[in-house]
Amino acid sequence: MITARNIRRRIGGLEDISLEVPAGACTAIIGPNGAGKSTLLDLLAGRSRADSGAVEFGGQPIADWAPLDLARRRAFLPQSLEVAFPIRVMDLVMLGRSPYHGRVSAQEDRAAAETALRLTDAWHLRDRAYQRISGGERQRVQLARVIAQIWRPGSQDGEPRMLLLDEPTASLDPGHRLAVMRLLRDLAIAGIGVVLALHDLNDAARFADQVVLLHQGRILSEGGPADAMQAEVLTSAYGAEAEVIRAGDAAPVIVFR
Amino acid sequence: MTESTIAASGEGAAQPAAVVLPLLVVAVIAAFLLSVALGPIPITLSEIGAALTGGPVDAMLRDIILDLRIPRSLMGLAVGAVLAVGGTAMQGLFRNPLADPTLIGVSGGAALAAASFIVFGASLAFIPDGLRLYAMPVAAFLGGIIVVLVIQRLAQRDGHTDIATMLLAGIAVNAVVMAGIGLLTFIGDDTQLRTINFWMLGSLGGSGWGPLSAVGPVSLLVVLACLALARVLDGMMLGEREAQTLGFNVETAKRLLIVAVAAGVGTAVAFCGVIVFVGIVAPHMVRIAIGPAHRPLLIGAALLGGILMLLADTLCRLIVAPAELPIGIVTSLLGAPFFLALLIGRSRTQSV
């Protein structure tokens, strides 16, 4: 669905990354601070341009997409969750429906926003002021906004849809963190390509279909969680001794010492 | 959860804009009639009605109503609307409730050009006397636009306008402009100094059908242009990158907004001088009342901006009648305390 070939970007320090992000799967980008995770996500989302190399979305160079067509198929959850002016939660999520303006009915927009808020367990916040809810609640509300952006009820038309998320669970309590990871996996099963930058390696091991380990702007390892997250490579990437505990078919557990 | 609560909340528990905007329209009409009626010579509503419908009314009163008060009040509405809409657009663009059109240098540039014209204008003998009346507004308008373009040029980075750089460039260029005005007041004689000071404080005293025929249509166009960009401004609440990710053409919108605000505020300032705080206060008050969605916000700010200008101008005419106070003194006296309250309120909510 998204194909990156030999992309470089000096600002952000990405060097020669080639990557295939499939539809219907959950891809986790992991790596230490400053490894280039956010830069890579931005490039894959078409939010910034690579100095060299190519990014394609749905078989077409991502820069060639009409902005509104792309916006209805690809949403991005940034790390920064600030909104300039006091706004009601429901109105904020409805901003995610802007690309559908004049194309679908107001009821359909509202239904998409409601579904998204229910999926992220934030429906009860809909009439609250966004600036007055907690950091974790804001993250779920913004997640609802980006889900609403690519939400199309009953769409089985095979059009590519992509959700890119920069540390979507950073401010969440353990219960909501697991709920959001399960939600993202379910969205992937429903056919959406999900890519997320993640710090929690155990979540990556448990929920991702594909893991990409970045270190100093290069891919250090990639593949299924068990293959990409070996103890030696994690140790060298994070500069702390990693131990990978495996028990049968369950997802491996990673501990740093 | 019952179906009825879902339906009610889906529509939004309350639609304050549907209540506030009609109230503002009523208030505009009231403020308009008030500003036409009040002045050194008081005028009754029936006299206004008679003058408008060609009924029996004293000829001098008719002239005052039709040629002085009404164009002046319409001018107040147009100038207030364009300042407030310009403020709303700049606040949305800079994502900051304290932004106003002076940030992009339009007022400073216009003031520098106007002050230059006041000091050196007499030596520009080639201007025919008939055009002298409009030469200063034209100079002020051009001065405003030129400074905005310089600031925007300085803020260009890889083909896009960097808003943070524009803010800083605006502060630096405004400082240079203010130094220029200071220099002009230094070399000007006493009369010129007084004229410059008066111009810097703003006044609707120069209103008439002629200036209104310039300011009115430009204001209307600028308000409509900003309304057309209301949805981009909504998207900009999330930040420029997020608005782009939502499919908005942010670069084009930024340029259009800056040009529209420069043209609108430049025209207003050219005829009425620098009028401060309306551009900050009006959008902020309306935003508190009806929320940040820009379509109703721009309409509400335009209406409230007009109301504030009319009330301030009426006060100016009454306080020291038959003389007139510069309107900038009144808007500053009323606007500055509000601005301080805004700052204090902001720091309080941010520290929580």
Lowest-pLDDT range, A35-39, A67-71, A211-215, B40-44? B40-44
Q: In whole angstroms, what is the distance from residue B291 CA to residue A88 CA? A: 8
Q: In whole angstroms, what is the distance from residue B197 CA to residue B309 CA? A: 20
Query: Does B131 score more than 90 pLDDT?
Result: no
Query: Does B11 score more than 60 pLDDT?
Result: no
Q: What is the DSSP letter of B163?
A: H
Nearest CB partner across the interface for B291, out of A71, A87, A149: A87
Exposed (0-12), middle (13-18) or buried (19+): which is B61, by Cβ within 10 Å?
Answer: middle
Query: Does B13 score more than 60 pLDDT?
Result: no
The answer to whether A125 touches A133, Cβ cutoff 8 Å, is yes
How many residues are there in chain A? 257
Test A85 with B292 for CB contact under 8 angstroms: yes
Nearest CB partner across the interface for B291, out of A88, A96, A98: A88
Lowest-pLDDT range, B1-5, B24-28, B207-211, B345-349? B1-5
Q: Residue A114, Cα to own-chain centre: how many angstroms? A: 21
Q: In whole angstroms, what is the distance from residue B81 CA to residue B31 CA? A: 14
* pLDDT attached to residue B7: 36
In Å, how far is A33's CA from the nearest CA of chain B? Answer: 22
Residue A254 parent element (H or E):
strand A253-256
Of residues B200 and A124, more confidently modeled: A124
Phi, psi of B351 (to 5 degrees): -80, -15
pLDDT band with cut points at 50, 70 and 90 for residue B97: confident
pLDDT band with cut points at 50, 70 and 90 for residue B9: very low
Q: Residue B139, Cα to own-chain centre: how many angstroms? A: 19
Bridge partners, A56 (sequence order):
A3, A61
Mean pLDDT of A3-30: 93
Test B292 with A47 for CB contact under 8 angstroms: no
The answer to whether A40 touches A214, Cβ cutoff 8 Å, is yes
pLDDT in tens, A232-251: 999 999 999 999 998 877 88
Name the residue among B240, B76, B109, B94 with its Cα closest to residue B167. Answer: B94
Q: Is B292 on the interface with A (CB under 8 A)?
A: yes
* pLDDT attached to residue B105: 87
Cβ-proximal residues to A157 (8 Å cutoff; 6+ apart), any chain:
none
* pLDDT attached to residue B12: 44
Query: Does A116 score more than 80 pLDDT?
Result: yes
Pairing of strands A14-21, A2-9: antiparallel
Q: In whole angstroms, what is the distance from residue B162 CA to residue B155 CA? A: 5
Name the residue among B167, B201, B197 with its Cα closest to residue B181. Answer: B197
Phi, psi of B274 (to 5 degrees): -80, 120
Query: Does A72 score more than 70 pLDDT?
Result: yes
Mean pLDDT of B296-304: 97
Which of chain A's residues have a Cβ under 8 Å away from the Cβ of B12?
A: 88, 90-91, 127
Mean pLDDT of A33-42: 94
* pLDDT attached to residue B218: 93
Q: Is B159 on the interface with A (CB under 8 A)?
A: no
Query: Does B223 score more than 70 pLDDT?
Result: yes
Q: What is the DSSP letter of A35?
A: S
Query: Does A215 score more than 70 pLDDT?
Result: yes
Query: Does B210 score more than 70 pLDDT?
Result: yes
Q: In whole angstroms, what is the distance from residue A156 CA to residue B240 CA? A: 32
Mean pLDDT of B229-234: 97
Query: Does A80 score more than 70 pLDDT?
Result: yes
Q: Mean pLDDT across chain B, nearest whole number?
A: 86
Q: In whole angstroms, what is the distance from residue B310 CA to residue B79 CA? A: 10
Longest CA span, chain B: 79
pLDDT band with cut points at 50, 70 and 90 for residue B2: very low
pLDDT in tens, B138-157: 888 888 889 988 888 888 87
Q: What are the DSSP calls for A227-251, one per residue? A: HH--HHHHHHHHTS-EEEE--TTSP
Test B239 with A78 for CB contact under 8 angstroms: yes
Mean pLDDT of A127-138: 95
Of residues B104 and A2, more confidently modeled: A2
Query: Does A153 score more than 80 pLDDT?
Result: no
Query: Does B325 score more than 70 pLDDT?
Result: yes
* pLDDT attached to residue A158: 67
**Architecture field, domain B71-345:** Orthogonal Bundle (1.10)
pLDDT in tens, B149-204: 888 888 887 767 788 888 888 889 989 999 999 999 899 899 888 888 888 888 89
Mean pLDDT of B118-132: 73
* Percent residues over pLDDT 90 in chain B: 44
* B268: its two tokens: 């207003």
pLDDT band with cut points at 50, 70 and 90 for residue B35: very high
* pLDDT attached to residue B32: 97
Test A85 with B236 for CB contact under 8 angstroms: no
Test A71 with B236 for CB contact under 8 angstroms: no
Q: Mean pLDDT across chain A, nearest whole number?
A: 93
Q: Alpha helix (H) ranges present in A5-134?
A: 37-44, 67-71, 89-95, 106-119
3-class DSSP string for B102-152:
HHHCHHHHHHHHHHHHHHHHHHCCCCCHHHHHHHHHHHHHHHHHHHHHHHH
Residue A96 vs residues A93, A150, A162, A205, B143: alpha-carbon distances, Å: 5, 8, 14, 30, 40
ipTM at complex level: 0.93
* pLDDT attached to residue B5: 35
Cβ-proximal residues to B1 (8 Å cutoff; 6+ apart), any chain:
none
* pLDDT attached to residue A124: 97
Test A83 with B237 for CB contact under 8 angstroms: yes
Q: Is B280 on the interface with A (CB under 8 A)?
A: no
pLDDT band with cut points at 50, 70 and 90 for residue B125: low
Of residues A56 and B9, more confidently modeled: A56
Residue B278 vs residues B82, B105, B283, B328: alpha-carbon distances, Å: 10, 16, 8, 10
Cβ-proximal residues to B21 (8 Å cutoff; 6+ apart), any chain:
B290, B296, B299, B300, B303
* Percent residues over pLDDT 70 in chain A: 98
* pLDDT attached to residue A157: 60
Lowest-pLDDT range, A193-207, B6-20, B55-69? B6-20
* pLDDT attached to residue B348: 60
Q: Is B210 on the interface with A (CB under 8 A)?
A: no
* pLDDT attached to residue B200: 86
Cα angle A151-A154-A160, degrees, rounded to a multiple of 5: 55
Amino acid identity at B45: L
Query: Does B6 score more than 50 pLDDT?
Result: no
